Each structure stands twice: as C-alpha cells, then as structure tokens.
Amino acid sequence: MKHAVCVCGDHAWRTATSGLIAIMDVDVAPRLDAWSISGHLKIKSGGRIYGRVLATLGKRKGGTGKTILLARAILDADGLVDHKDNDPTNNRLSNLRPVTIVQSNANRRGTSKTGAKGVTYARNGYQACCASEYLGRFKTVEEAAEAYRIRATEKWGAEFVNTKVGFAEMAAASSKGEKTDD
C-alpha cells in the first residue's frame, strides 16, 4: 500500500495511522513506503511533549512484523536514538543521533517549576543539582541555572546538555517571531 507523502522543500512528511504527522528527509521517505507508521503524543503541563512515533514492517512486506521507533528505522540503528530537539515527530537525519542512555538522559527536558532544568526552589532562593550532585544555593534562578549548565557541560559535553524545561517556551517564542537556541 502506498502511503501519501508530502514533499515540502528540504523535508517530507507523512501522516501516521493516528493522524500524527512524522517529518523526515526527502530521500528517506521512499525507503519507508512499505512501513506502517503510528504514534501518539501528549502535551503535559508546562508544555512537555511525551510520545512515540512507531514503524512496523509487516511480514507480508518482507519484514519481521516487529514494531520499532521510527527514528531507529530511519537510522537503521539497534541502540538508542536521540532527537536533538526532543520532538519525536521530527525525524530528519540532522535531528537524529545514536546515543548512550546517559547522553539521552542529559538531553531530556527537565520538570522543574522554576523554569530551569536542575533548579528547584529553596528557602530564600534557589538550589541547583546535577545528577544528584548538590551545586549550592543561589539568590536568582539565573545563577542556579548557570551553575547547572556549567556542571552538566563538564559531565556530558555541550552537545548533550539541554537546559530547557518544556516545549511551551519554544512555542511561545516562535509565535512572537523570536529565535530559540534549539
């Protein structure tokens, strides 16, 4: 069965069985034509996106019938694959990379109500922690966030350090025409 693929400039997209849209590179889309794509997304409080985009190559089409993450199918990877921007629908090659579990966790968005990953409210200010390592108390959230960013970069490297908390701030910034660092 041929699946409808829309080519839009340098990327293509395909609608999953759930109505979700999976974005990929133009040259990858034909390779996935025989695959069935499904998925689900939930946007939690604070704008965090949870979900998966899955691909299945049925036995009748020469596959194993196993369902795998679409990102793994695109990279033809056995291990973990990370979305640099944390958006599971963005499966462009430039957004995917093979990672270890530690690197994947470093790139996850935080859940802090302060708006900064690794920073929590403390009496008379804020405290920063990185992977259960206490970094100290600070007067402002910005100071605590900077302490987290420095320590996380030392531990995991700048490529994998994600200091964002949720997806909402990126959406808000893009709706105002502002640039984000993702």
Least confident window among 5-14, 95-104, 135-144, 146-155: 5-14
Give the global pTM.
Answer: 0.69
Single out the residue of 152, 74, 67 nearest to residue 106, CA to CA: 152
* pLDDT 10s digits, 71-96: 888 888 888 999 888 888 889 999 99
Q: Do β-strands 67-69 and 49-56 pair in parallel, antiparallel, or remain unpaired?
A: antiparallel
Structure tokens at 30: 């034909």
Residues 6+ apart with CB under 8 A from 5: 12, 13, 14, 29, 30, 33
Task: Say what the pLDDT of residue 121 is.
Answer: 92
Q: What proportion of the chain, given as a percentage, has pLDDT over 70?
A: 77
* pLDDT 10s digits, 42-77: 666 555 556 678 777 766 666 677 788 888 888 888
* pLDDT 10s digits, 18-44: 777 888 888 888 888 777 888 877 666
Which burial class, exposed, middle or buried, applies to 130 when counting CB atoms under 10 A from its CB (0-12, 13-18, 19+)?
buried
Instruction: Report whether 46 contacts 168 (CB < 8 A).
Output: yes
Task: Say what the pLDDT of residue 125 is.
Answer: 93
Least confident window among 56-65, 94-103, 139-148: 56-65
